[in-house]
Amino acid sequence: MKRLDRRRQQLEFYDFSTQEYDAVSNGFANADLGTEIHARWADGSVITGVEVFRAMWEAVGLGLLSKLSRLSLVEPLVLRAYDLVRT
């Protein structure tokens, strides 16, 4: 994603596992961050799971991929793949 975002520079990535990252002051619990991907919008709202990937795809110009992932035949596969990767 970082490579795809070089031109637009829409994304910021943080490694929650470093000592420098203060999860609590950013509104997260460390336990939650280790089990599911999280993202925060500029307005402070938080999204999790597959929605984070969809938002990243749209941010880097892959909106079609995001739309395809919402199709009724594809979405269950995307959700299952996410569940397999995060466990």
Any domain includes 58: yes
Q: What pLDDT does 29 receive?
A: 78
Any domain includes 3: no
Q: Would you say the C-alpha torsion 22, 14, 33, 31 has a positive or negative sign?
A: negative
Any domain includes 40: yes
Q: What pLDDT does 45 receive?
A: 87
What are the pLDDT digits (tens) for 30-78? 777 888 888 888 888 889 999 999 999 999 999 999 999 999 999 999 9
pTM: 0.83
Any domain includes 73: yes
Any domain includes 68: yes
What are the pLDDT digits (tens) for 4-15? 888 888 888 888
Q: What pLDDT does 70 receive?
A: 97
Any domain includes 43: yes
Domain housing 29: 24-86
Beta strand ranges found along 1-87 (DSSP E): 38-40, 46-48
Whole-angstrom CA distances from 14 to 26, 31, 47 are 11, 16, 15
> CA 77, CA 51: separation in Å to the nearest integer?
14
